[in-house]
Amino acid sequence: MLMIQKRLTYFILTSFSFILGCTLTLFFLHTTTLKPIASPIDVSKIKLLVLILSAVKNQIRRDAIRETWAQAYGDVKILFVLSKDQYLNAEKLIHSDILEVNIPDEYRLLSHKLLESFNSVRNIDFDYLLKCDDDTFVDVTKVINELETAPKNKFYWGYFDGNAHIKRAGKWKETEWILCDKYLPYALGGGYVLSKDLIIYMVNNKDYLSFFISEDVSVGVWLAPLNITRKHDRRFDTEFRSRGCCNDYLVTHKRSPQVMKLYWSHIIETGKMCNEEYKDISSYEYNWTVMPSKCCVKNALLCP
Ligand SMILES: *[C@@H]1O[C@H](CO)[C@@H](O)[C@H](O)[C@H]1NC(C)=O
Ligand SMILES: *[C@@H]1O[C@H](CO)[C@@H](O)[C@H](O)[C@H]1NC(C)=O
Nearest CA to ligand 2 atom 12: 287
57 contacts 75 by C-beta, under 8 angstroms: no
Residue 285 Cβ inside 6 Å of ligand 2? The answer reads yes
Domain membership of residue 6 (yes or no) is no
pLDDT in tens, 161-187: 999 999 999 988 998 999 999 999 999
pLDDT in tens, 53-92: 999 999 999 999 999 999 967 899 999 999 999 999 999 9
Nearest to 75 by CA among 57, 56, 53, 49: 49
Residue 35 has pLDDT above 80, yes or no: no
User: What does pLDDT average to over the chain?
Assistant: 89
Residue 29 Cβ inside 6 Å of ligand 2? The answer reads no
Q: How far is the CA of 227 from the centre of ligand 1 (A)?
A: 6
Q: What's the Cα-to-Cα distance from 241 to each of 129, 188, 268, rounded to whole Å?
A: 23, 11, 25
pLDDT exceeding 90 applies to what percent of the chain?
Answer: 80
Dist. CA 74–CA 77, nearest whole Å: 8
Dist. CA 34–CA 29, nearest whole Å: 8
237 contacts 119 by C-beta, under 8 angstroms: no
pLDDT at 139: 95
pLDDT in tens, 211-252: 999 999 999 999 999 999 999 999 999 999 999 999 999 999
Domain holding 198, by residue range, is 46-294
Domain membership of residue 163 (yes or no) is yes
Atom of ligand 2 nearest to the CA of 297: 14
Domain membership of residue 11 (yes or no) is no
Domain membership of residue 248 (yes or no) is yes
130 contacts 70 by C-beta, under 8 angstroms: no
pLDDT band, very low/low/confident/very high, at 13 (cuts 50, 70, 90)? very low
pLDDT at 33: 38
Dist. CA 84–CA 100, nearest whole Å: 5
**Angle formed by the axes of helices 215-223 and 196-204, to 10°?**
90
pLDDT band, very low/low/confident/very high, at 303 (cuts 50, 70, 90)? confident
Do strands 278-279 and 244-245 pair parallel, antiparallel, or not at all (unpaired)? antiparallel
Residue 284 Cβ inside 6 Å of ligand 2? The answer reads no
Dist. CA 76–CA 95, nearest whole Å: 16
Q: What's the Cα-to-Cα distance from 110 to each of 113, 114, 209, rounded to whole Å?
A: 5, 6, 14
Nearest CA to ligand 2 atom 13: 287
Helix (H) or strand (E) holding 81: strand 76-83
Contacts of 272 (CB under 8 A, 6+ apart): 247, 266
pLDDT at 219: 98
Domain total of the chain: 1
Domain membership of residue 161 (yes or no) is yes
3-state secondary structure 179-233: CCCECCCEECCCEEEEEHHHHHHHHHCHHHCCCCCCHHHHHHHHHCCCCCEEEEC
Q: How far is the CA of 70 from the centre of ligand 2 (A)?
A: 38
Nearest CA to ligand 2 atom 10: 287
Residue 289 Cβ inside 6 Å of ligand 2? The answer reads yes
Dist. CA 195–CA 193, nearest whole Å: 7
pLDDT in tens, 91-109: 999 999 999 999 999 989 9
pLDDT band, very low/low/confident/very high, at 6 (cuts 50, 70, 90)? low
Record the pTM. 0.86
Domain membership of residue 232 (yes or no) is yes
Query: What is the CA angle 134-136-139, rounded to 5?
Result: 130
pLDDT at 150: 98
Q: How far is the CA of 286 from the centre of ligand 2 (A)?
A: 9
Residue 284 has pLDDT above 50, yes or no: yes
Domain membership of residue 41 (yes or no) is no
Q: Which CATH number fits the domain that encloses residue 142?
A: 3.90.550.10
Nearest CA to ligand 2 atom 11: 287
Domain membership of residue 81 (yes or no) is yes
pLDDT at 16: 47
pLDDT exceeding 70 applies to what percent of the chain?
Answer: 85
Dist. CA 176–CA 5, nearest whole Å: 88
Mutate to test the pocket of ligand 2, among 289, 296, 301 (most ligand atoms within 8 A of CB): 289
Chain-centroid distance of CA 8 in Å reads 58
Residue 10 has pLDDT above 70, yes or no: no
Q: How far is the CA of 155 from the centre of ligand 1 (A)?
A: 14
Residue 5 has pLDDT above 70, yes or no: no
